[in-house]
Amino acid sequence: MRKMKYMQKLVGLAALILVMFACKPEMDGSIDIGQAPTEAQLDFTITKGANDFKFVLANTSQITGIVSWDLGNGSKSTEASPTATYPLPGEYTVTMTLITRGGTATKSKKITQTKTDYSIFTDAKFIALSGGVNAVNGKTWVLDSLATGHIGVGPAGTVGLEWWAAGPLAKAAVKVMYDDEINFKITGFAATLTNHGKSYVKGFVKTSTGYSNPTELDTDFIVDYNPAPGTWFIEEKNGKSYLTLSGSTPMFPCFDVGATNGSYEILSISENKLELVTIDRVEGNAWHYQLIPKGYVKPKVTFNVSVDPTANVNEYGVKLNNIVIPAGLSITKVKVDFGDGTVKETTDANASLVNTYMRKGPYNVSVTVTTSNETLTTNKSVEVAANHPSYVPFLLDMMVTYNDFSEVMMAQVQGQDCGLSIVDNPSKIYPNKSTKVAFYSKTNQQWANAYMQLAPGYRFDLRSQHIFKIMVYGKAGDKVLMKLENTDRGGNAWQTGTADLIYTIKNDNTWEIAEYNFAGVSAGWDWTGDIFTSDVTTSDKFSHDFYNVVRIMLNPGVGDGTHKFYFDELSGPHVEGLKSATIK
């Protein structure tokens, strides 16, 4: 999607250039725009801006083209008429570049600044970022790796968290990003990136100046890189504050996303927090950063979670206890996922959230506490001993679709030791016109399997309906096995497994219905002494409230070579307690 977006931008830019040069230049009709421009044809003006430290630049060239600027103060711009800031005495070289259909030309002029803008040395943003004039060694920042959203991405015009917000230590595998640090000194507005010889970058900037030996890791790239010293500055534009980073080699806050013109909008800045968003220059997406000073330990909200039965049948209450909230922090939301599909939330940290469980079984209760500076999650387990008295079993004789990979998903199908992906239907004709299907592939794995595990508390009921079905598409003669298991024994779940039921594919590359009837099928191992039956549909121990996993294997026991097939419409007995599947 992003690649397509990028190509659309290139096409649009090409169209813009063609429109620009489809007519003769307004200022001098004698110039042949098919030829490369010369410096003599370029010119721009420099006029005083709102105060002694701001200067407005304007292109006055004889020919039209796409203009860009190097402002000589570490900043760059692609605005038609940018305003440049020069707060310290010195001679600054402004360079304008004009791109035409025939080529590129540049023209430079100098600005001499004799005054000093002393207000920046007392500006709260400058002091917070650099430590101010009293911080001889400047101030060093690192990514706030324990905060949700310390990096993120979203569409342009947002704060860069809408599509993805990294959870705490989400990029733990990318150590080179979390050990990077960037230092800001107000003296000379020096910026120093310390990266220990390696940096983490987006793929589209991996060939930037100074980068070498790119190695992909977790969708982006680690590069060998020794950054040169750079500069920084904070400017106000249209009511917003922007931090600009520049240098002879890339300068960025711990993760290079190719920031447009090295500019980062400051969303918030204080003594112990720096929050930025930038637009990358290739895909045009918004990237979010959250940093803290090196060595700073954030104050944390602490609490304990209790999950206790109430006086009501099968009702449990979840509550925060021993809450400690440091000064300046607050709890903004408490959300509880009771593990049976019920989710409740409150803004009152002292409230007790309650839920009544209708079915017996183990449940995982997840408590998410959102504070003013981080998100904390705690998990607890609950064992409900019996069904609620008002619970009535229903629809036991019906077959339902668990997952059709297009619209309906009661539970997710995953792969173990095999590739399992959702792909386009290879033959979208009767008897299977589904848009999407599952694709299974194993290589040199005897028992690789696709499996579906029901949510905690839910089990298959085989008493009235004991047929499972899938649609298969593959190689004639390949064998597709199905079996059921119970996960309560953890790594010994195999001891609960049913005997193998196998369907042999009849025709090459044709959708067929594979049926598995578990009536009369044995399960377990008689030598275990406690877990065996000759018929899972008639034994009270196996027929209901027991099996929660269905496994599918292709050519089980064959461990050589690659084996693959498509399957769809995984269906079987109604799952007692689930009235309907989730519609995607």
pLDDT, tens digit, for every residue of 415-425?
999 999 999 99
The residues with which 503 forms a beta bridge, in sequence order, are 480
488-525 tens-digit pLDDT: 888 888 889 999 999 999 999 999 999 999 999 999 87
The percentage of residues in the chain with a pLDDT greater than 70, rounded to a whole number, is 91
Residue 14, pLDDT > 60, answer: no
Confidence (pLDDT) at 373: 77
pLDDT given at position 339: 87
What is the 8-class DSSP label of residue 395?
Answer: -
User: How large is the average pLDDT for residues 382-386?
Assistant: 94
Look at 390 and 395; give whichever has higher pLDDT.
Answer: 390
Q: What is the pLDDT of residues 392-409, one digit of tens each?
A: 765 567 788 899 998 888
The better pLDDT of the pair 4, 283 is held by 283
Residue 10: predicted pLDDT: 35
Q: Given phi > 0 = left and psi -120 to 50 = alpha, else beta, which region is 263?
A: beta
Is residue 13's pLDDT more than 50? Answer: no
Q: Where are the alpha helices (DSSP H) in 457-580?
A: 540-543
Residue recorded with tokens 């003599």: 40
State which amino acid sits at residue 16: L
What the block records as the tokens of 36 is 């490369």
> Under a CB-based contact definition with an 8 Å cutoff, are residues 242 and 233 in contact?
no
> Cα torsion at 547, 553, 555, 556 (round to 10°)?
-50
Q: What is the pLDDT of residue 526?
A: 63
Mean pLDDT for the chain overall: 89
CB atoms within 10 A of CB 545: 20
Q: Where are the beta strands (DSSP E) in 128-189?
A: 139-143, 151-154, 164-165, 181-184
pLDDT value at residue 527: 56
For residue 359, the model assigns a pLDDT of: 82
Q: Are 106 and 95 in contact (CB under 8 A)?
A: yes
* Higher pLDDT, residue 527 or 542: 542
Q: What average pLDDT does range 274-298 have in this prediction?
A: 96
Is residue 410 within 8 Å of residue 403, measured between CB atoms? yes
Give yes or no for a contact between 265 and 241, defined as CB atoms under 8 angstroms apart: yes
Domains and CATH numbers, the chain: 2-113 (2.60.40.10), 121-293 (2.40.128), 320-384 (2.60.40.10), 399-583 (2.60.120.260)
Q: What is the pLDDT of residue 324?
A: 96
516 CB-contact burial (10 Å; exposed 0-12 / middle 13-18 / buried 19+): buried
Which tens digits make up the pLDDT trace of 546-575?
999 999 999 999 999 999 999 999 999 988
Once rounded to an integer, what is the mean pLDDT over residues 202-212? 95
Element (H, E) at 126: helix 124-130
Q: Render pLDDT for 317-359 as a digit per residue (tens, 0 to 9).
A: 999 999 999 988 899 999 999 988 789 999 999 999 999 998 8
For residue 393, what pLDDT is reported?
Answer: 67
pLDDT of residue 360: 86
pLDDT confidence band for 298 (50 / 70 / 90): confident
Supply the pTM of this predicted model: 0.55
pLDDT value at position 26?
35
At 528, the pLDDT band (50, 70, 90 cuts) reads low
Q: Is the pLDDT of residue 80 over 50?
A: yes
CA distances from 158 to 267, 278, 284, 301 (A): 11, 10, 12, 28
Report the pLDDT value the prediction gives residue 539, as an integer from 0 to 100.
Answer: 93
Q: Taking CA 292 as the corner, what is the angle to CA 287 and CA 295, rounded to the nearest 5 degrees?
A: 145
CA 100 – CA 17 distance, rounded (Å): 8
Tell me what the mean pLDDT of segment 208-224 comes to: 95
Chain position carrying tokens 């598995």: 516
CA distances to 216, 269, 273, 444 from 136, in Å: 38, 20, 20, 62
Given phi > 0 = left and psi -120 to 50 = alpha, else beta, which region is 457? Answer: left
SS3 track for 307-329 = EEECCCCCEEEEEEEEEECCCCC
Over residues 223-237, mean pLDDT: 94
- For residue 479, the model assigns a pLDDT of 98
pLDDT of residue 390: 85
Using 50, 70 and 90 to split pLDDT, how confident is the model at 32? very low
Distance CA 86, CA 54 (A): 6
- The average pLDDT across 168-177 equals 90
C-alpha to C-alpha distance for 496 and 547, rounded to whole angstroms:
8
pLDDT(15) > 50 = no
